[in-house]
Amino acid sequence: MNKNTLKHLAIIMDGNGRWAKERGQKRVKGHEKGAEVVREITTYCANHPSIETLTLYAFSTENWKRPKLEVEFLMQLLDKWLKNELEAYQKNGVRFQAIGDMSRFSKKLQKRIETTQEETKNNKKLTQVLALNYGSRAEIVDAVNRALEEGQEISEESIGEYLQTPYSDVDLLIRTSGEMRISNYLLWQLSYSELYFSQTLWPDFSPDELESILKDFESRERRFGGV
């Protein structure tokens, strides 16, 4: 059996809050530890022979329902993260991209996102996509409306062109923490994806576990609706 080629990996990074609670810590400590894991996994993917795109669910449109102080911390953490990670992006050849509705973010954070995208746009080893204030249903509705506004006939191809994620379809989706839901994430792009649900909380996720999951992915038979 030929090995499956993994080009686009998507991850729902779940379990930061539970990780902190298990240790008697505030939820924000889980987010801080989770950010460190993002760096480790991104570095691994940048050095993987076939992975071209890593899309991470960082903040959903539903996450605004969380306590105000936690949301504010997450915004500050993202701003700090992007500032500190720029050197690592350049060193590892990682191009940073963000998808979602940035309009609810502060002007400072919007500027940080724009600047990081601009300064890493020529990096070629890996595209890291952060889904920020992102919801897949909203993305699809927006794509259809944009296509109609420009007089395009609605088809799979035209909708695909207007999505915020004009990259390859997702080959493999991983969700950590034992939850077995898609949570309004990349619904269009996941049509024929392989799914893997890890029991590990995101702050404990490691490149070694990812490598084990990738071996499982390689052993699967992908038919894409055929026989």
* Residues forming the active site: 14, 63
Q: In whole angstroms, what is the distance from residue 67 CA to residue 127 CA?
A: 31
**Which helix (H) or strand (E) is 139 found in, with range?**
helix 136-149
Nearest to 9 by CA among 224, 180, 171, 221: 171
Phi, psi of 11 (to 5 degrees): -135, 130
CB count, 10 Å around CB of 54?
22
DSSP state of 35: H
Q: Are strands 94-99 and 53-60 parallel, antiparallel or unpaired?
A: unpaired
**DSSP 8-state symbol, 174:** E
Q: Which residue has the tokens 């609706």?
A: 225
